[in-house]
Amino acid sequence: MNHWQDLEKTQRTIARVLQNSVMRERLAHAYVFEGGRGTGRQEAALLLSQAFLCSHRDGADPCRACSDCRRAASGNHPDVHRIEPDGASIKVDQIRALKKEFSMRGMETQKKVYLVREADKMSASAANSLLKFLEEPEGEALAVLMTVNAHQMLPTILSRTQVMSFQPLSPERVIRHLKAEGYPEKEAATAARLTSDLEEAAALFEEEWISQARAKVIQLMNDVMHRPSDAYITLHETVMPFFPGREQVERALDLIMLWYRDVLRMQVGQSEAIVYIDQEDRLAEQAFQLSQGRLGRNLQAVMDAKRRVHANVAPQLLMEQLLLRLQEG
Ligand SMILES: [Zn+2]
């Protein structure tokens, strides 16, 4: 990510607010970048650091050619500090060590940047120490505290920072990206509903996992509906061996959920929004045969199973119970 325009494609509001603040030289001392993987938090933090340090900015964009820009990009800038948990937490000693380091050597410039990963793991004393640091009068400082969930951070920290919530990528954007990478559309449409993280989505295509996973769930869904006596065998011989363990079973449940949501979409006339885009005929058939009441109970059964998947119940048993509920209707 080299320009604010790049960030605008996915995080429009944040890109505009930050650009504006850079242009007016009115950046906050500390930002919290909140968001999941793949939302561009890290890249945005680097871009912001470069824009902050660069002395040859073009508008709000860093020049990317000066030594500040280049060293920030390669992770070697002496005034850009990366802080991450040492063990389970970020400790006050880590912040104290930084202070000591500063007092030992002369600064390159008056500007300092702190990039804090997993900032919710900062102890209260570490956070206070860092924030005090930022408010010191000499020089300028910028801190970006990154976290998956700002609610896990101490209110005293949040009140002294500006929180930016990075939105997950929309399924449409993930699909576009996957298609541009050469992945087939029907699998891309499914993968984009399992994760909004681009790397994780691409990983689902390894060894044709997503293609096989879809095929197995489609078979199970059709057996449940049309060949109930085969469904149990399909579950044990086809589905369970492919989805071993809780994480995998959770994926299977997501795929089953997507199937019934598609049936629902067919019932309410939203066939253009279905995820199993190559299964429209089968979905239409099920939409016709399943009453709204039964479809609602099926969706509920899948949700209940999803809730229990990390509880102390064997995945095998969980899936058998689900199958029973789906067939009772
Ligand atoms: Zn520059």
The pLDDT mean for the chain works out to: 92
CB–CB of 108/79 below 8 Å?
yes
Confirm if 274 and 265 have CB atoms less than 8 A apart.
yes
CATH label, 4-165, candidates 3.30.420.40, 3.40.50.300, 3.40.630.10, 1.20.120.1780: 3.40.50.300
pTM for this model (two decimals): 0.72
Q: How far is the CA of 323 from the centre of ligand 1 (A)?
A: 60
Residue partners of 285: CB distance under 8 A and separation at least 6 = none
CA of 82 to the centre of ligand 1 (A): 20
- Residue 103 in this model has a pLDDT that exceeds 70: no
CA 97 to centroid of ligand 1, rounded, Å: 28
Tell me the CATH number for domain 205-328.
1.20.272
Q: Which of 76, 130, 79 is nearest to 101 (CA)?
A: 79
pLDDT digits (tens, 9 = 90+) for 115-130: 999 999 998 899 888 8
- Whether residue 187 contacts residue 209, with contact meaning beta carbons closer than 8 Å, is answered with no
The 3-state DSSP class for residue 30 equals strand
Task: Please tell me whether residue 147 adopts helix, strand or coil conformation.
Answer: strand
Summarize pLDDT for 271-318 with one digit per residue, the tens. Answer: 999 999 999 999 999 999 999 999 999 999 999 999 999 888 999 999
**Residue 181: per-residue pLDDT:** 92
The pLDDT of residue 104:
66
pLDDT at 156: 84
- Per residue in 144-183, pLDDT tens? 999 998 999 988 889 889 999 999 888 998 999 899 999 9
Judge whether residue 257 has pLDDT over 60. Answer: yes
* C-beta of residue 202 within 8 angstroms of C-beta of residue 178: yes
**Are 58 and 67 a contacting pair, CB within 8 Å?**
no
Contact (Cβ atoms closer than 8 angstroms) between residue 141 and residue 134: yes
| Residue 254 CA: distances (Å) to CA of 135, 190, 309 | 47, 10, 11
Q: How confident is the model at residue 107 (pLDDT cuts 50, 70, 90)?
A: low
Query: 105: which 2 tokens?
Result: 């050597």
| Ligand 1 centroid distance, CA of 33 (Å) | 23
Query: Among residues 184, 201, 231, which one has the least CA distance to residue 329?
Result: 231
Which residues in 174-191 are b (16+ Cβ under 10 Å) and which e? bbebbeeeebeebbbbbb
Q: Is 123 exposed, middle or buried (0-12, 13-18, 19+ CB in 10 A)?
A: middle
**105 pLDDT band (50/70/90 cuts)?**
low
Percent of the chain with pLDDT over 90: 75
- Distance set, CA 318 to CA 47, 310, 314 (Å): 46, 10, 6
The CA 166 to ligand 1 mean position distance, Å, reads: 25
Q: 252: pLDDT confidence band, cut at 50, 70 and 90?
A: very high
CA 134 – ligand 1 centroid, Å: 23
186-241: per-residue pLDDT in tens? 999 999 999 988 888 999 999 999 999 999 999 999 999 999 999 999 999 999 99
Q: How far is the CA of 151 from the centre of ligand 1 (A)?
A: 34
Could you give the percent of the chain with pLDDT greater than 70?
96
Q: Is residue 70 over pLDDT 60?
A: yes
Q: In the β-sheet with 162-165, what is the strand arrangement from edge to edge? A: 80-83, 111-116, 140-147, 30-34, 162-165
Three-state DSSP at 142 gives strand
Q: 54 or 135, which is more confident?
A: 54
* Cα of 51 from ligand 1 centre, angstroms: 7
CA of 57 to the centre of ligand 1 (A): 6
Per-residue pLDDT, averaged over 236-252, amounts to 95
**Helices 171-180 and 185-194, axial angle in degrees (round to 10):** 140
Give the start-to-end residue ranges of the domains of the chain.
4-165, 205-328
Residue-level pLDDT at 191: 97
Residues 6+ apart with CB under 8 A from 58: none
Residue 59's pLDDT is 93
